[in-house]
Amino acid sequence: MSCELVERDLTAYLDRELDIDAASAIRSHLADCTACRRLVAEREALGRLVRSAPYYPAPQRLRTRVSARTGRSPWLGRFVPLAAAATLLVSVGVGTTLMRVAPTVTVAMVDQIVDGHVRSLMADHLFDVQSTDQHTVKPWFLGKLDFAPPVVDLSAIGFPLVGGRLDYLSGRPVAALVYQRQKHTINVFVSPERDGDPADVVRSERGFHIHHWVRDRMSFWAVSDLNEAELAQFVRALQTP
């Protein structure tokens, strides 16, 4: 697949509207194309900015004026799309300003983590390698990443490893390790520690619990809809050398 075809189908890919074969072809291209990974990251960042922009309801006086004109203004129908576009631009502008003046690096990263978790569940792409054997999952990443993610099986305490896949955060490839707790899926995103990585993070976002920590110069993000107490138990087990 070429970069032009990826760009053409990118919106449908991010909205999960492509069929399995087309989505798989794009993922394969992204694994080898830095430019297209950067484009995906930019599109996802724009979406997050728009979603995070504040909403201001129209004052009643404006609502009344618009309602009064709706029935007799032939240009109103043409005006609405333009107004929506203008609102989008203002929202992006406001979101960008907020990003500049507020400490939102962690907030943006948490949003990416949740997006990645939800995307893996909705697109039915939890695994590139499906196995409960850590000695099968870990070697699968060789040659696909420039680091070796630590892979452990926690089935002895009720959190079995079920597989792994290649994923992307901030336009960079990361290892995604998949664990199970009864019917709950836990995604653990692993990548080398970078300057500016946040300290330990524990928070909830959109109904999901997220934990972040750094160990042995590796950055870990765990996310799941599992209850906080059990996820914390899982995290403690992963943090134990």
Residue pLDDT, tens place only, 97-127: 333 333 445 788 888 899 999 888 886 678 8
Rounded Cα–Cα distance for residues 136 and 150 (Å)? 12
Rounded Cα–Cα distance for residues 74 and 148 (Å)? 63
CB under 8 Å to 127, separation ≥6 — which residues? 162, 163, 164, 165, 178
| CA 144, chain centre distance (Å) | 20
Residue-level pLDDT at 121: 86
Question: What residue spans define the domains of the chain?
Answer: 3-52, 60-101, 105-239
Residue-level pLDDT at 83: 47
Residue 2: strand, helix, or coil: coil
Q: Tens digits of per-residue pLDDT, 151-195?
A: 999 999 999 999 999 999 888 899 999 999 999 999 999 999 887
Helix (DSSP H) and strand (DSSP E) numbers for the chain: 8, 7
- Please answer whether residues 185 and 178 qualify as being in contact, where contact means their C-beta atoms are separated by less than 8 angstroms: yes
Between residues 236 and 32, the one the model is more confident about = 236
- Please answer whether residues 181 and 224 qualify as being in contact, where contact means their C-beta atoms are separated by less than 8 angstroms: yes
CATH superfamily membership of 105-239: MucB/RseB, C-terminal domain (3.30.200.100)
What pTM was computed for the model? 0.58
Q: 241 pLDDT exceeds 80?
A: no
Amino acid at 59: P
Amino acid at 235: V
Between residues 132 and 8, the one the model is more confident about = 132
- For the beta sheet containing 184-192, the strands, ordered from the edge strand earlier in sequence to the opposite edge, are 129-130, 161-169, 172-181, 184-192, 218-224, 208-215, 201-205
Residue with tokens 């959109």: 206
Quickly list DSSP for 9-59. HHHHHHTT-S-HHHHHHHHHHHHH-HHHHHHHHHHHHHHHHHHHS---PPP
Residue 161: strand, helix, or coil: strand
Tokens (6 digits) for 69: 């004109």
Q: Tens digits of per-residue pLDDT, 195-226?
A: 766 678 898 888 899 999 998 899 999 999 99
Give the closest residue to 2 by CA, choosing from 25, 21, 19, 24. 25
157 DSSP assignment: G
